[in-house]
Amino acid sequence: MNKMKNKLLYHMALWLPLLCITPLIIAGQNPDDFTGGLLLLALSLFAIVCVASVMTWLLVKLFKANMQRQLLSIILAVATVLVIQAYIVHGLFEYGQLDGKTVDWRSFGSIYWLEIGLYFLAIGIFSTIYFRSQIKWNTVSWALILFAMAQLALVLPQYFSRNTITEGNGFNPSVYEFSSTSNIIHILADGFQADIVKQVLEENPELAKAFSGFSFFDNHLGRFQSTAPTIPSIYTGEFVDLDQGFSFKSAQQGIAKHAYTNVLSDNGYRLDFAGISNIFCHKNANSCVSLSFSDLKARGYIDSKTLIGSLALLLDISMFRHTPMYLKERIYNNGSWLMSAEVYRDSSKYPDPVIREWTEHMKVATTTPVYKWYHFIGTHIPAQWNSQCEFLGRQPQSREFYKDQTFCILTDMAKLFNQLKAQGIYDITTIIINGDHGCNIAANDVFGSASNISIFHDRFLGVVRPVFMVKKPHQTGQLTYSDAPTTLIDIAPTILDIQTLPHDNYAGISAFNKPVDSQLVRKFHRYFTKRFWNGKPVSYNEYSVTGNIRDRSNWKVVAMHNRGTAPSFYEHMDIDTAGDFSLGLSLWAKHLGAQTQSVVYGKEFHILLSDLKTKAKKLVLKLKVPAYSKEQKLSVFVNGTPIVSNGELKPIYNIEFTHEINIPEGLLQAENNLFKFEFTKAGLDSNDKPRSAVIRSISLL
């Protein structure tokens, strides 16, 4: 019997970290994403561990003694590598935001293949050591289990000290209550892109009638391409500073001090929140319902399969942590997780469950002014619903599919508005509908000529344009459109201004007070997702737009931030050397054996060069102008200052051209000088793409 217990322990060492301890760590770190409570999850997961351990124990018992020893040494070796991978190696890399978005695993380069090779090599090495040495297997087993449990112990204080305002499976009934005196409904539709919303409304005038009294701000600019830094910026009226790094803790602290909901609370509004996480809920909230990312389809209301779904997703994420990138890619499966995707197939059948719940259960039950917030991602790509709100599953990323899904969402919003009208409170209700970013679908209403189409392409001009629509109380008439140059930080003062509440402390301006013809310079920051979650300054590109954001020619590159130290020369223009330090170049991958040169698509490109040691006097540029571009002129700027004015540099087309450009003293800084190269024209290549030059090399001397 004692011998059996010892052998069973080896199987427990394999399954306990993978199927129980790591899932509990994940649940403890993300309590809002999983249902059932930590104790119920622990009991359920431990039962799974016991079943798995007994099954592998019985399987090993089928073999002879010597073969049993070999199999057990492999089991212990796998257990060892799983623990090392999950609790040490996994934390060395940033994988980005795993919320259904595509992850480019190949961007990790040779590490992608090296990791899986070392993973299986380590299993072989540990297996040989355990089989041939005198190491006590009991000791190894207990060491692995206790090390994993120590990681869990670090999470428990965070779990038990969390904000427990979340309602869990259902809503507080007061969530359905609206006021007879004043209501504010703020809907954040994740990834809701302005030009697509506008097109759907214009093509469906009967639907647009339901949006009576709304102003559609068609010149509205987002700030970031993703959700995490956007929500704090909307709440606080202050842009998240990527140079300071990002963490949810700092975001919560900023919201606690500066959120516009503080002003509403101080002025007697009752606050009801429904969102993807309770970290953005107000401390004085009447209700705060967390609707997690774990609902693959609706990211909203969940059904009786909640516990099973939570267990399946926990096991998916646990396997993700315990395996190398090669296997992570297959487990994550671009958001359709290996096990939980099928389990969640019967989750909320609709993309916007809270809107439907409000419409169905609405009650005018209080004279206290009411504020309601709803953040949902049923509007996100990939499109998964048709125009009749029938679930189709992941569809190809195309405008037509997203238009159908948008029609579904807008139709449900229209039903909510009609119910507000039926209850007699539409006229006293302020409604704000905004996105956090666009959905990466090419905008269809842009015009003008971009300085470089590889930077300011039409998909980019979709991402920067989340929808922003506002209905003021007592505002009547048909939906109107405005070209006022609004941004995310204008949303908070707009809401407070409508309620005639103080908003002078906010950097933004009420959307209704912005002149339409303003030439205001606005900024957009596109950051590197892989480098976002480590708490350090975030790498990002800074772009500016003056005037109408739909005009490609109004966009400019301002800077490339937090890149690390750039080289002082690029002997070969390839993705390995220049990928992190350039914009507007089509770079080949040298390690794949391609040519080491780069095409300039459009009329300009930007590159960083450092001057740490050389105290450079000259810039040496080697390029070739294609024959179809013919006569060409080039201007060169460093840190915004021209060092070659237009017309001074005239490379001869179709001939290799090397030019040394003098750099005025004092113009260069030690690290990361931004060089801009601007050509006067771009001819069309054989694929009808505008090119101005082929860059061979760039260096400081």
Under 8 Å between Cβ of 602 and 453: yes
Under 8 Å between Cβ of 523 and 542: yes
Mean pLDDT of 81-96: 88
In the three-class reduction of DSSP (H, G, I as helix; E, B as strand; rest coil), residue 677 is classed as strand
Q: Is the pLDDT of residue 295 over 60?
A: no
CATH number of the domain to which 663 belongs: 2.60.120.260
The residue among 342, 316, 294 whose CA lies nearest residue 34 is: 294
- Residue 248: per-residue pLDDT: 81
Number of domains present in the structure of the chain = 3
Q: Is the pLDDT of residue 276 over 80?
A: no
Q: Are residues 150 and 204 in the same domain?
A: no
Mean pLDDT of 352-371: 93
Q: Which residues of 409-421 are buried (b: 16+ CB within 10 A; e: fewer)?
A: bbbbbbbbbebbe
Q: Which of 322-336, 468-482, 664-678 is predicted with the least confidence, judged by mean pLDDT?
A: 322-336
Instruction: Choose the most confident range, by mean pLDDT, from 26-40, 475-489, 598-612.
Output: 475-489
Tell me the per-residue pLDDT of 193-251, one tens digit each, with 9 for 90 and over. 999 999 999 999 999 999 999 999 999 999 999 999 999 999 999 999 999 998 888 88
Cα-based distances in Å from 36 to 72, 314, 320: 35, 12, 22
Q: Is the pLDDT of residue 402 over 90?
A: yes
Among the candidates 130, 160, 190, a domain finishes at 160
Please report which confidence band the pLDDT of residue 294 belongs to, taking 50, 70 and 90 as the band edges.
very low
Q: Are residues 505 and 582 in the same domain?
A: no
The residue among 315, 396, 385, 397 whose CA lies nearest residue 348 is: 385
Please report which confidence band the pLDDT of residue 656 belongs to, taking 50, 70 and 90 as the band edges.
confident
Q: Which long-range contacts (CB under 8 A, 24 or more apart) does 536-539 make?
A: 536/245, 537/242, 537/243, 537/244, 537/245, 537/561, 537/562, 538/242, 538/243, 538/245, 538/246, 538/562, 539/563, 539/580
Tell me the per-residue pLDDT of 462-474, one tens digit each, with 9 for 90 and over. 999 999 999 999 9
Which amino acid, 92?
Answer: L
Please report which confidence band the pLDDT of residue 438 belongs to, taking 50, 70 and 90 as the band edges.
very high
Q: Which residues of 437-455 are buried (b: 16+ CB within 10 A; e: fewer)?
A: bbbbbbbeebeeebbbbbb
CATH number of the domain to which 227 belongs: 3.40.720.10
Peptide bond into 382 cis (omega under 30): yes
- Residue 33: per-residue pLDDT: 63
Burial of 131 (0-12, 13-18, 19+ CB in 10 A): middle
Cβ atoms < 10 Å from Cβ of 345: 13
Give 482's strand partners: 217
Report percent pLDDT > 70 for the chain: 89
Alpha carbon of residue 275 to chain centroid: 16
Among the candidates 107, 126, 160, a domain finishes at 160
Which amino acid, 61?
Answer: K
In the three-class reduction of DSSP (H, G, I as helix; E, B as strand; rest coil), residue 502 is classed as coil
Q: Please indicate, yes or no, if residue 256 is contained in any of the structural domains.
A: yes
Q: Is the pLDDT of residue 631 over 90?
A: no
Q: What is the dihedral of CA 554, 219, 537, 456, to 10 degrees?
A: -40
Q: Are residues 149 and 198 in the same domain?
A: no
Q: Please indicate, yes or no, if residue 325 is contained in any of the structural domains.
A: no
Q: Are residues 478 and 597 in the same domain?
A: no
Q: Please indicate, yes or no, if residue 205 is contained in any of the structural domains.
A: yes
Q: Which two tokens stand for residue 202?
A: 């214009």
Cβ atoms < 10 Å from Cβ of 548: 15
Q: Are residues 154 and 177 in the same domain?
A: no
Nearby residues of 464 by Cβ (< 8 Å), 6 or more positions away: 221, 222, 225, 437, 438, 524, 549
- Residue 306: per-residue pLDDT: 57
CA gap 606, 557 in Å, rounded: 8
Please report which confidence band the pLDDT of residue 343 belongs to, taking 50, 70 and 90 as the band edges.
low
When the pLDDT of each residue in the chain is averaged and rounded to a whole number, the result is 87
Element at 201 (helix H, strand E) = helix 194-203
Q: Are residues 510 and 650 in the same domain?
A: no
Cα-based distances in Å from 1 to 4, 6, 7, 8, 52: 5, 9, 10, 11, 19
Q: Is the pLDDT of residue 607 over 90?
A: yes
- Residue 277: per-residue pLDDT: 72
Q: Are residues 490 and 603 in the same domain?
A: no
Domain range for 70: 2-160
Nearby residues of 37 by Cβ (< 8 Å), 6 or more positions away: none
CA gap 294, 310 in Å, rounded: 8
Tell me the per-residue pLDDT of 312-325, one tens digit each, with 9 for 90 and over. 888 888 999 999 99
Extract the runs of DSSP E, i.e. beta strands, from 461-597.
468-471, 480-482, 521-527, 540-546, 555-561, 569-570, 582-583, 585-587
Q: Which one has a higher pLDDT value, 162 or 605?
A: 605
Count helices and strands (H / E) in the chain.
19, 25
Q: Which residue has the tokens 């623990």?
A: 83
Instruction: Choose the most confident range, by mean pLDDT, from 145-154, 213-222, 267-276, 503-512.
Output: 213-222
Mapped to the 3 state alphabet, what secondary structure does 519-542 carry?
A: CCEEEEEEECHHHCCCCCCCCEEE
Q: Are residues 124 and 197 in the same domain?
A: no
Tell me the per-residue pLDDT of 34-57, one tens digit each, with 9 for 90 and over. 666 788 888 989 999 999 999 999
Q: Is the pLDDT of residue 296 over 60?
A: no
The residue among 535, 700, 696 whose CA lies nearest residue 624 is: 696
Extract the runs of DSSP E, i.e. beta strands, from 535-624.
540-546, 555-561, 569-570, 582-583, 585-587, 598-601, 604-609, 618-624
CA gap 388, 345 in Å, rounded: 18
Q: Please indicate, yes or no, if residue 316 is contained in any of the structural domains.
A: no
- Residue 674: per-residue pLDDT: 96
- Residue 208: per-residue pLDDT: 98
Q: Is the pLDDT of residue 170 over 50?
A: no
Cβ atoms < 10 Å from Cβ of 259: 20
Q: Which of 92-106, 180-194, 203-217, 528-542 is predicted with the least confidence, judged by mean pLDDT?
A: 92-106
Q: Is the pLDDT of residue 613 over 80?
A: no
Q: Phi/psi of residue 544, each to 5°?
A: -125, 155
Q: Please indicate, yes or no, if residue 222 is contained in any of the structural domains.
A: yes
Q: Are residues 568 and 427 in the same domain?
A: no
DSSP of 232-273? HHHHHSS---GGG---HHHHHHHHHHH-HHHHHHHTT-EEEE
Q: Please indicate, yes or no, if residue 70 is contained in any of the structural domains.
A: yes
CA gap 664, 617 in Å, rounded: 7
Q: Are residues 71 and 183 in the same domain?
A: no
Helix axis angle for 37-61 and 22-29, nearest 10°, is 160
- Residue 501: per-residue pLDDT: 97
Q: Please indicate, yes or no, if residue 248 is contained in any of the structural domains.
A: yes
Q: Is the pLDDT of residue 593 over 60?
A: no
Report percent pLDDT > 90 for the chain: 56
Q: Which one has a higher pLDDT value, 384 or 640?
A: 640
Q: Which of 117-121, 385-389, 491-495 is predicted with the least confidence, judged by mean pLDDT?
A: 385-389
Element at 432 (helix H, strand E) = strand 429-434
Among the candidates 480, 515, 550, a domain finishes at 515
Q: Please indicate, yes or no, if residue 691 is contained in any of the structural domains.
A: yes
Q: Give the β-pairing of 270-275 and 370-376.
A: parallel
Q: Phi/psi of residue 495, each to 5°?
A: -65, -45
Q: Are residues 188 and 146 in the same domain?
A: no
Q: Are residues 199 and 154 in the same domain?
A: no
- Residue 3: per-residue pLDDT: 46
Under 8 Å between Cβ of 149 and 397: no
The residue among 188, 118, 239, 211 whose CA lies nearest residue 414 is: 211
Mean pLDDT of 130-147: 93
Give 542's strand partners: 525, 559
Nearby residues of 185 by Cβ (< 8 Å), 6 or more positions away: 372, 374, 429, 430, 431, 432
Q: Is the pLDDT of residue 380 over 90?
A: no
